[in-house]
Chains A and B, each alone.
Chain A
Amino acid sequence: MSRMRHPTEDPVWAKVVILTLVGLFLVSVLILPLITVFFEATRKGLPAALEAIQNEDARASIKLTLITAAITVPFNVAFGLCASWAIAKYEFPLKPFLITLIDLPFSVSPVVAGLIYVLVFGAQGWFGPWLLDHDIKIIFAVPGIVLATIFVTFPFVARELIPLMQEQGVDEEEAAVSMGASGLRTFWSVTAPNVRWGLLYGVLLCNARAMGEFGAVSVVSGHIRGLTNTMPLHVEILYNEYDFVGAFAVAALLCLLAIVTLVLKALLELVQPQSRPGRH
């Protein structure tokens, strides 16, 4: 009987065709370009590549990227927790509207997101003159880059947590409260452990995008070398100046950051079933 096919199982030829298509697609669109990045970066030898990511401008761009991610991720963790808590645990009017709003950064072009901030905070923008009077720089400075990155990445944590919290309902929180736990204690002892894996997953994705964002940041940054250049912007500048080794070396570093993120994510998925006692 073991040779009988399950009713929903495809015949062997179909499996082979589908797997081959997927494999070809992944190799040509993902893996080959990735290899190219590392190949181009080391075309003039490893020392040249290392030199390219160690010069002053490159180091400044790496630092700025890390700072941006370090501000953006905690902010979006806080926002994501609040938003998903509100959506999952409270009833209020305009809830569907809020859920749609959270998705906005996914559906709008990052360039538009950047332009919004220019329009609001730029020299010719609504608050431009006031900001100029008070000597506060947002556009073409670090605050603008952070704002644009926050805008682009804020759905990641919230999107991950909302379905999780909705599925879990409020019974466990109510049980905790009825046993005398304070609101804060309930959050730390009951809610947070129940969503920790989802939260971590959201943080990883949010971090990856925060480091890699190009469009929105490009609009508000002003491309000042050593000051407002993040790594993706630095790559573009080097490339436009025909410094291919430099461009690909920084790009390779970005790729490595992304790969580390993905490996962490894969490890999480491996670890998750054992360390979480499971659903009931």
Chain B
Amino acid sequence: MTISIRSVEKTFGRFPALNGVSLEIADGELLALLGPSGSGKTTLLRVIAGLEFPEKGQILYGDQDMTFTSAAARRVGFVFQQYALFRHMTVAKNVAFGLDVRKGQAKPSKSEITARVDELLKLVELGELGKRYPAQLSGGQRQRVALARALAVNPSVLLLDEPFGALDATVRKSLRKELRRIHDATGVTTIFVTHDQEEALELADRVAILNKGAIEQVGAPHEVHDNPAGAFVCGFVGEANRFEGAVKGGRFQSADIALPAPGVADGAAVAFVRPHELVLAPADQANLSIVTERIAPQGAVVRVDGATASGQRIEAAFARQNAGDLQPGAKLSLAADRSYVFSA
């Protein structure tokens, strides 16, 4: 099911949560809503689910206007950060709930429901745990149950609100892969909210980046990382060293660094250089020089923390074989392979 969000506005009291958000989600797509806390991403998800209603704008499922349709009538699957499993029901009862509450003709028979529950528990690899209660499961297992429960109604769209937020790092990683597998197996249009850029970039077909209730950029993970549309996206997605300065005649200049800035208008500007795009260079070809403070080899890279003469902190990451014998307190000349400059 394609989902269209058209100029949606929503305020809580005087605080605007969504400022005219428009977004198209293609049928079968896996989309991440990425943003810092307070950016409106959860509100947007809840508006799509029908758990909140917008003041302005439209929500369309396919070509059907759902803006003010109740959540119960939308046939969405919703997964909460804190699982929200029904604590007094067994796992199987939880998964069956969406089918149990149907009435009359629409309600499947008991054996059909049992079969569907078994199938879903197998899909999320919890085949044996149908008789347990939520309190007897680990966090990761609970979230799998929540996922199976949301899928039971054959939702037109699956919505997940920070689904891995309450889990520890290892479980989070494996469940992430699981979600991708389940999405590919079911083909259901899926939207998930996260503040974790790594999660969004790894998992999603496309990422929509929100800031202060507005969408900053929508694109494939590599697009938003490599071609950020603005200073916010550049600073939020991926690591970056940030410099404040000014552009004059196509060159960016700050206290510490000079960078090319073709096509950027004269005036105040911010520049970003990613740690892995800083390379060691001879002094006459360097963009900046730093004094190293900490050298930390991490697998294939060596991470270097340092500071410029004006005291700005700089992070760099070199391939291990290029790093040579770095020592804390050494003076390094660095060149930026690539940089991003935006008018401030």
Chain A nearest Cβ from B159, distance in angstroms: 8
B97 nearest in chain A by CB position: A179
Contact of A175 among B75, B78, B102, B133 (CB under 8 A): B78
| Dominant secondary structure of chain A at its interface with chain B | helix
Q: Does B101 contact A (CB under 8 A)?
A: yes
Tell me if B98 counts as interface (CB < 8 A to partner A).
yes
Whether B73 is near chain A, meaning CB under 8 Å from some CB there, is yes
- Answer yes or no: A261 CB below 8 A from chain B CBs: no
Q: Answer yes or no: A180 CB below 8 A from chain B CBs.
A: yes
User: In the complex, A74 Cα to B232 Cα: how many Å?
Assistant: 58
B117: min CB distance to chain A, Å = 13
Contact A179 B98 (CB under 8 A): yes
Contacts of B75 in A (CB 8 A): 180
Query: Does any Cβ of A come within 8 Å of B200's Cβ?
Result: no
Q: Does B153 contact A (CB under 8 A)?
A: yes
**A279/B87 in contact, CB under 8 A:** yes
Within 8 A of B (CB), among A158-209: 171-172, 174-182, 185, 189-190, 193-194
Cβ of B31 < 8 Å from any Cβ of A? no
In the complex where A177-B71, A179-B97 touch, is A171 in contact with B133 (Cβ < 8 A)?
no
A175-B84 in contact (CB<8A): yes
Output the least CB separation between B133 and chain A (Å). 4
Give CA–CA (A174, B159) in the complex, Å. 13
The bracket for how many chain A residues form the interface is: 20 to 34
Instruction: Let me know if A180 and B72 touch, CB within 8 A.
Output: yes
**CB-defined contacts of B78 to chain A, threshold 8 Å:** 174-175, 178
Give min CB distance, B47 to chain A, whole Å. 13
Chain B CB within 8 A of A96 CB: no
B25, chain A: closest CB distance, angstroms? 18
B149 interface residue per 8 A CB criterion: yes
Chain A residues whose C-beta falls within 8 Å of the C-beta of B133 in the assembled complex: 277-278
Q: What is the distance, in angstroms, from A158's C-beta to the closest C-beta of chain B?
A: 22
The answer to whether the Cβ of A6 comes within 8 Å of any Cβ in the partner chain is no
Chain A residue nearest in CB terms to B12? A91
State the CA gap A237–B29 with chains docked (Å): 80
- A194/B142 in contact, CB under 8 A: no
Q: Do A280 and B83 contact each other (CB < 8 Å), given the known contacts A177-B72, A178-B76?
A: yes
CB of A89 within 8 A of chain B?
no
Give min CB distance, B19 to chain A, whole Å.
22
In the bound complex, residues from chain B placing their C-beta under 8 Å from that of A189 are 86, 97, 101
A182-B72 Cα distance, complex, nearest whole Å: 7
Q: How far is the CA of A193 from the CA of B87 in the complex (A)?
A: 9
List the A residue with the shortest CB-CB distance to B79.
A175
Name which residue of chain B comes closest to A181, CB basis: B101
Q: Does B134 contact A (CB under 8 A)?
A: yes
Q: Across the interface, do A277 and B84 meet the contact criterion of CB distance under 8 Å?
A: no
Nearest chain B CB to A215 CB, angstrom units: 40
Asked if A276 is an interface residue, CB under 8 A from chain B, the answer is yes
Chain A residues closer than 8 Å to B50, beta-carbon distance: 178
Once bound together, how far apart are the Cα atoms of A146 and B71, in whole Å? 42
Q: Which residues of A contact B146 (CB under 8 A)?
A: 175
Cβ-neighbour of A279 out of B84, B135, B150 (below 8 A): B135
Could you tell me the distance in whole angstroms from the C-beta of B189 to the nearest C-beta in chain A?
15
- New A-B pairs, 7, CB < 8 Å, besides A177-B71, A178-B78: A177-B51, A178-B50, A178-B71, A179-B77, A179-B101, A189-B86, A276-B88
- Nearest first, the 4 closest Cβ-Cβ pairs linking A and B are A277-B133, A179-B98, A171-B84, A278-B135
Residues of A within 8 A of B (CB): 171-172, 174-182, 185, 189-190, 193-194, 276-280
Could you give 29 example pairs across A and B, Cβ below 8 Å? A171-B80, A174-B71, A174-B80, A175-B80, A175-B84, A176-B97, A177-B70, A177-B72, A178-B49, A178-B71, A178-B76, A178-B77, A179-B72, A179-B97, A179-B149, A179-B153, A180-B72, A180-B73, A180-B102, A181-B72, A185-B101, A189-B86, A190-B86, A276-B88, A277-B87, A277-B134, A278-B135, A280-B83, A280-B134
